[in-house]
Structure 1
Amino acid sequence: MLLPRAITAAREPARQSVAAALTHLVMISGVVLAGAGFELYIIEPTSRPEPNWLVAILGGPALFLLGRAPFELQVFRRISLSRLIGLLALGLLIPAVWHAPPLVAGAGATAVLAGIAVADAWHARSREPEPPALLM
């Protein structure tokens, strides 16, 4: 419900619509890549780590967050700090899990995403849903 209101209020609704579609495409690509990564660590959770697996396991959630940040900017004219911290945390996980089994990388990615969800829930507690910013 917020996206149509933000697009309607935008100075250039057509441009806003295209930008929203592109950010959704990036987010969906992140979900697909994360799904592939999580399947990899479900199939062989304790096997020898492969750098390509880290691209999927950590890169999928990072790609989702990279798409979500400009989407928030388009709708609310701000980016949640929790998403920026999540991107940083995923980046910091790379050297930490480079030689660890895929299960460890998956657990780290899951912990980061769960932390973002908890931060969002904490921020939204006992507040009205945030309206979209009027983009003039």
Structure 2
Amino acid sequence: MASRPERLLRGDDAPLSASFLELFFDLAFVLALTKASDLTAAVVILGGPTLFLLGRTLFSVAIHRRLSWPRVAALFVMSGAAAVLRLPLLAVSAVATGVVLTVVVLDHAGNRSYRRIKNPD
């Protein structure tokens, strides 16, 4: 006679091996979990820089009364990348790094026009 937990799962006359259909559904479940975890990781990878860019943009608007258009464009690129990209996680991280570095370079180039004016003495 089978122990109590085994009786709950299978009857006494059921075979002890799994059928092909059960194994197929197990494989499909594992693959679905793998894809969900990749999507979650991609959202986390892109979410950090997106949150930083959003916060920095709102800070610049609140303090300096200036809107940085490269940051706004980068927010759209990051949002689009989260929705469209089906790349490996390393490539998703490279895209996020590239977007943030592009914003840094464009902001630095734009800040040259805001240099302090020398005092005419």
**TM-score (norm: length of structure 2):** 0.60
Q: 2:96 corresponds to which residue?
A: 109
The aligned runs of 1:1-136 (5 Å cut-off) are: 50-97=38-85, 99-125=86-112, 127-128=114-115
Q: Deviations over 1:41-76 (max 9, x none)?
A: xxxxxx977111112110000011111111111111
When the two chains are superposed, the root-mean-square deviation of aligned CA atoms in Å is 2.3
**Residue 126 (structure 1) shift:** 6.1
**Residue 105 (structure 1) shift:** 0.5
**TM-score (norm: length of structure 1):** 0.54
**Unaligned stretches of 5+ residues in structure 2:** 1-33, 117-121
Aligned residues: 83
Q: Could you say which structure has the greater relative contact order, defined with CA pairs below 8 angstroms and 6 or more residues apart?
A: 1
**Residue 95 (structure 1) shift:** 3.2
Q: Deviations over 1:78-105 (max 9, x none)?
A: 22101100100101112332x2110110
Q: Which runs of 4+ in 1 moved over 3 A?
A: none
Distance of 1:111 and 1:80 partners within structure 2: 17
**Unaligned stretches of 5+ residues in structure 1:** 1-46, 130-136
Larger Rg: 2
